[in-house]
Amino acid sequence: MAVTQTTLSAAIVAGDLTMTVASGTGFPTTGATALAQGYLVRIDKEYMWAIAQPVAGQITLRGRGANGTAAQAHDKLAKVIVSSAPSDFAGNAPGFDVELPPYLPIYLTLGQDKTFTTSEIAAYGNQSRTFAITKATAAAITLVAPDKSQDGLILEFTSLTDATHAITATSLLANAGASSPYTTATWANAKAGGGIKLIAENALWNVISSTNVTLS
């Protein structure tokens, strides 16, 4: 067997046991009796099991947060990878009990415009996160300041689509430039790839690195 890839048609939260996908290919047969074991599914950094497809594109799930991962919310257009053979997925690295230990940086998808709230950033604590932008057109992302207690928290934003995404963080993007701290980080070319890596330091977002992203 081999893995099949599709995307979420709508966002899901950590407790959802159904999801809608762009294509039901590779999932349990439409209308068939629910499977006891199911097909292994990975969305972002969460594993789960797909046990049925009552109607085309509507998937019934069980075992959210399987294989040592944590159940979490996933945005629309998040990549969904599925296979009837769990062995199709990468094995554990030497010395690890599971493939995706929960203490590793969290990987999430942004399929639509996003405004981060102060309480949301605070809830991240010091666990770093990577956000993959999958919105086909330019995503508008608003970022607020971290708390000083979160020094060392790393946020990375990468683009998977051909669009000039923009992050607005009013007077928070510090890179030692003449006008630092800057307010806006914009993808310079409408091509997939590139991104920006930020670290929380003294209630600012210090720019560690960036590719195809312009600060202003």
**Residue range 12-50, pLDDT digits in tens:** 999 999 999 999 999 999 999 999 889 999 999 899 999
Residue 18 phi, psi dihedral angles, 5° rounding: -135, 150
| Neighbour count for residue 35 (Cβ, 10 Å) | 16
Confidence check: pLDDT of 103 > 80: no
| Neighbour count for residue 126 (Cβ, 10 Å) | 12
Does the global pTM surpass 0.85? Answer: no
Report the percent of the chain where pLDDT is more than 90: 80
pLDDT band at 97 (very low <50, low <70, confident <90, very high): low
> For residues 124 and 198, what is the distance between their CA atoms, to the nearest angstrom?
14
**Amino acid, single-letter form, for residue 112:** Q
End-to-end CA distance of the chain: 48
pLDDT band at 146 (very low <50, low <70, confident <90, very high): very high
> For residues 127 and 152, what is the distance between their CA atoms, to the nearest angstrom?
9
Q: Which of 73-82, 88-97, 143-152 has the lowest mean pLDDT?
A: 88-97
Chain segment 51-62, per-residue pLDDT in tens = 999 999 999 999
Report the percent of the chain where pLDDT is more than 70: 93
Chain segment 185-214, per-residue pLDDT in tens = 999 999 999 999 999 999 999 999 999 999
At residue 106, the pLDDT reads: 85
At residue 94, the pLDDT reads: 60
Q: Which helix (H) or strand (E) holds 123?
A: helix 118-123
At residue 100, the pLDDT reads: 64
> For residues 125 and 119, what is the distance between their CA atoms, to the nearest angstrom?
10
Average pLDDT of the residues of the chain: 92
Q: How many CA atoms lie within 13 A of 44 on its CB side?
A: 33
